[in-house]
Amino acid sequence: MAKVIAEKAAAEIPVSGKQVEIKHTRVMQNAAGNNVTVVDYVDVKPVDEAISQAEAELVTAEALVVSLKADIVEYKKIKG
């Protein structure tokens, strides 16, 4: 699943501060067999919240990478 991230225009929302609009998309095939991008859903949130969530996801992903690297080392030991 991909994301399209853009600043949300201030006139469209009554909240103070900058907002971001995140379109969650995926690629599907239409009846003719052509690939088309489809928007699954749209999130609108304050930019500070979006940054905090992305930073938290990054910490989780980095921890997963460390764990996977350790797994690979163990697998290679077994392989010999």
Q: Model-level pTM?
A: 0.68
Q: 6 pLDDT band (50/70/90 cuts)? A: confident
Q: What is the pLDDT of residues 14-55, one digit of tens each?
A: 656 899 999 999 999 999 999 999 999 999 999 999 999 999
Q: 11 pLDDT band (50/70/90 cuts)? A: low
Strand order in the sheet with 19-29: 2-8, 19-29, 35-46
Would the pLDDT of 13 be above 60? Answer: no
